[in-house]
Amino acid sequence: MQRFIAEDGVRKFEVKSKWEASLFIDIKVATGFELNSFADSIHSSKARLLKLEKFGLRSLLQNLTNLKELHLSKVIISSEVPHTLTNLTSLTTLVLEDCGLRGEFPVSIFHLPKLQVLNLCYNENLTGHLPKFHLNSPLQDLELAVTNFSGKLPDSIGNLNFLKTLDFTECYFSGSIPASLGNLTQLTDLFLSYNLLQGPIPGSFSELKNLKAVYLSYNNLSVSELEIFFKLKNLTELNLSGSQIKSLPKNTTNTTLPKFQMLLLGSCNLREFPDFIHFQHELEVLYLHENNIHGQIPSWFSNTSKETLRLLDLKENFLTGFEQHPDMLPWVNLIMVTLSHNMLQGPLPIPPLSTQTYRVSYNRLTGKIPPLLCRLSFLHTLDLSNNNLSGTIPPCLSNFSDSLSILNLKGNNFHGPIPHPYNKGNTLKMIDFSRNQLQGKVPRSLASCTVLEILDLSNNLIEDTFPFWLEVLTKLQVLILQSNKFYGAIGSRETKLVLPNLRIIDLSHNGFTEAPPPSPSPPLNSKQDNDSVFPSAIDWIIICMGYVSGIMVGMVIGHTITTKYHEWFIETFGRKQRKPRREKRRRQGN
């Protein structure tokens, strides 16, 4: 018996006959795919090249009646699932993840007598519903994430006594969660986020003693007693974001709680910091965003998971500060901290040296930027926008981190020159210094920002001629210089602005005397860089209209679109859209 491993050393075909081996040779000939009938493996880097569109599953499987395991993840099939799969009565594992499957999934496949693993994830055009499950079904791993499966969760789901992993993330299941789910005492991982489920989370969850991860976020669920999860001593990951938590437990102790590593309680209508977090010392991820938490961050919170916490999100609350304001945030291994859209007052809190993303926009912070901030050499995103910070921008802020991609200081009270120099080879993609009181000239060292896509210097006091040397920034897509003191002629025969990827340019409310000639533009459906920070759906080009020494330049529609969308581009840049996200399982071995 030969096994063909399709990717990552996990997906495999079991082949028992020369006919079956010859079928794979035929696939090789048809696709140019290097597959030897006596080989042990296929390199994972080539797995996506394998296509079965011509053959289809029906042709592939018609004589493989003894097949036990079929792993075709990421193989391009692009067809319906044939009913002949129900003839594979020896099948224990069926993995068809991300294969482009479509149509209605045959419900009888759920009843294959030996089937233990069924994975259909990431087939967005595959529809189906759940059957009435038989008692003592052998299923151990049932994964339908990011498909179009719908309907209610049947009470018979409680018959899956051997089930360990259940992943229905981002499907269309509706109705309530059946209490019979509490019968699945072998269950370790439960993922039901982003469905249409509603009603209370059943108390029978407290019977799932082996649960390690529970993701129920962004349905329409309610939690009357959070204590039902506290009885699960093996639980390390809990995501209830978007659920209504009616009350928080009081008088909890360290001995009565599971040791959480991930705790996500965003948009749960919380009005205070959950007291039980006081006893959590192994947290790696803590999300309390978009709640109604008022007042100061309690002093005990600074002692919570000081060595382990890596991701902290407290945005969109009503926090005013820290009971004990630290010179530096105490969590020594933080990677991401988001405190935006609160009411924080006082000096800027400084995150630890490990920080890669720091967002503290839309608060009421005052004072200068401490030079200590320039020690954050791993920083990727720095967003201090829309506060009341003042003073000059520290010169070190232009070159303190080779990894910095987003630098947003918009809407403060900074004065003095734009910081410089900028190191060659830097990774800056967005610079927004707008709505301050910056003076002087545009530093030529900005030409070193060769991957820059957005540059916004609007609403300052910059006094300079038009920086034609910016044409070296071939990836620049947004250039906003409006409402400054720029002057001089632009667009002469000797000086032409050539920015091939430019989408928006706004030069209004300056002292320019001529309009710039239109830049060459790519086709409207030009391909964006895969790692581009600019929204790939935006393909139109805008030459802004404004008043340049009393002369109207451009088109009215240009001014209208720029006025309407300029804020959208800058305000939402780097912020996640509020729509369902695909939550992938963190453990791939189950």
pLDDT at 521 over 60: no
Q: Which two tokens stand for residue 352?
A: 């630890």
Greatest Cα-to-Cα distance within the chain, rounded to the nearest angstrom: 84
Give one DSSP letter per residue of 485-547, joined into a string. --EE--S-SS-----TT--EEE--SBEE-SPPPPPP---TTPPPPTT-SS-TT----EE--EE
Phi-psi region of 187 (alpha: psi -120 to 50; beta: other; left: phi over 0): beta
Which pLDDT value is given to residue 59? 74
Instruction: Give the least confident one: 249-258, 293-302, 305-314.
Output: 249-258
In whole angstroms, what is the distance from residue 456 CA to residue 562 CA? 13
- For residue 213, which of 248, 260, 168 has the smallest C-alpha distance? 260
Are the C-beta atoms of residues 140 and 118 closer than 8 Å to each other? no
In DSSP terms, which residues pair with 350 in a beta bridge? 328
In whole angstroms, what is the distance from residue 400 CA to residue 5 CA? 46
Instruction: Give the least confident one: 5-9, 156-160, 343-347, 418-422.
Output: 5-9
pLDDT at 580 over 60: no
Backbone φ and ψ for 71, nearest 5 degrees, come out as -120, 110
Which pLDDT value is given to residue 31? 37
In eight-state DSSP terms, residue 562 is H
- For residue 14, which of 71, 54, 89 has the smallest C-alpha distance? 71
Contacts of 579 (CB under 8 A, 6+ apart): none
Q: Average pLDDT for residues 372-394, to the nearest whole number?
A: 96
In DSSP terms, which residues pair with 480 in a beta bridge? 456, 506
Q: Which two tokens stand for residue 401?
A: 């981190």
Backbone φ and ψ for 263, nearest 5 degrees, come out as -135, 115
Q: Average pLDDT for residues 99-122, to the nearest whole number?
A: 96
Cis peptide leading into residue 421 (ω within 30°) = yes
Band of residue 272 on the pLDDT scale cut at 50, 70, 90? very high
pLDDT at 309 over 90: yes
Q: Which two tokens stand for residue 120?
A: 């259909």
In whole angstroms, what is the distance from residue 347 CA to residue 391 CA? 13
In whole angstroms, what is the distance from residue 340 CA to residue 355 CA? 16
- For residue 418, which of 402, 435, 441, 450 has the smallest C-alpha distance? 441
Q: Average pLDDT for residues 65-93, to the nearest whole number?
A: 90
Which pLDDT value is given to residue 51? 74
Band of residue 81 on the pLDDT scale cut at 50, 70, 90? very high
pLDDT at 508 over 90: yes
Are the C-beta atoms of residues 206 and 228 closer than 8 Å to each other? yes
In whole angstroms, what is the distance from residue 234 CA to residue 104 CA? 37
Which pLDDT value is given to residue 111? 96
Which pLDDT value is given to residue 115? 97
Domain ranges of the chain: 248-367, 370-576
Band of residue 490 on the pLDDT scale cut at 50, 70, 90? confident
pLDDT at 163 over 80: yes
Give one DSSP letter per residue of 11-65, joined into a string. EEEEE-SHHHHHHHHHHHHHHT----TT-SB--GGGGGG-B-TTTHHHHHHTT-T
Q: Which two tokens stand for residue 142?
A: 């049932």
Q: Average pLDDT for residues 92-113, to the nearest whole number?
A: 95
Q: Average pLDDT for residues 5-15, to the nearest whole number?
A: 35
Of residues 530 and 431, more confidence is placed in 431
In eight-state DSSP terms, residue 472 is G
Q: Which two tokens stand for residue 422?
A: 């900028």
Which pLDDT value is given to residue 324? 87
Strands 11-15 and 2-7: antiparallel
Q: Which two tokens stand for residue 400?
A: 């303190």
| Secondary structure in 3-state letters for 201-232 | CCHHHHHCCCCCEEECCCCEEEECCCHHHHCC
| Class of residue 573 by CB neighbours under 10 A (exposed 0-12, middle 13-18, buried 19+) | buried
pLDDT in tens, 436-482: 999 999 999 999 999 999 999 999 999 999 999 999 999 999 999 99
pLDDT at 345 over 60: yes
Which pLDDT value is given to residue 442? 97
Q: Average pLDDT for residues 267-286, to the nearest whole number?
A: 95
Band of residue 8 on the pLDDT scale cut at 50, 70, 90? very low
Of residues 10 and 124, more confidence is placed in 124
Phi-psi region of 147 (alpha: psi -120 to 50; beta: other; left: phi over 0): beta
3-state secondary structure of 446: helix
Band of residue 49 on the pLDDT scale cut at 50, 70, 90? low
Are the C-beta atoms of residues 15 and 8 closer than 8 Å to each other? no
Scan for tokens 């294959």, then name that residue: 112
Which pLDDT value is given to residue 225? 87
Q: Which residues of 358-369 are buried (b: 16+ CB within 10 A; e: fewer)?
A: bbbbbbebbeeb
pLDDT at 520 over 80: no
Domain 370-576 fold: 3.80.10
In whole angstroms, what is the distance from residue 334 CA to residue 207 CA? 34
Task: Give me the amino acid identity at 67.
Answer: L
pLDDT at 553 over 60: no
In whole angstroms, what is the distance from residue 154 CA to residue 174 CA? 11
Are the C-beta atoms of residues 53 and 78 closer than 8 Å to each other? yes
Which pLDDT value is given to residue 80? 92
Instruction: Give the least confident one: 77-91, 171-185, 360-374.
Output: 77-91
Topology alike, domains 248-367 and 370-576: yes
In whole angstroms, what is the distance from residue 470 CA to residue 492 CA? 16
Backbone φ and ψ for 444, nearest 5 degrees, come out as -65, -20
- The mean predicted confidence, pLDDT, of the chain is 82
Q: Which CATH architecture has domain 248-367?
A: Alpha-Beta Horseshoe (3.80)
> The dihedral of CA 565, 566, 567, 571: what is its sign?
positive
Scan for tokens 């300056």, then name that residue: 510
Task: Give me the amino acid identity at 198.
Answer: Q
Q: Average pLDDT for residues 302-322, to the nearest whole number?
A: 96
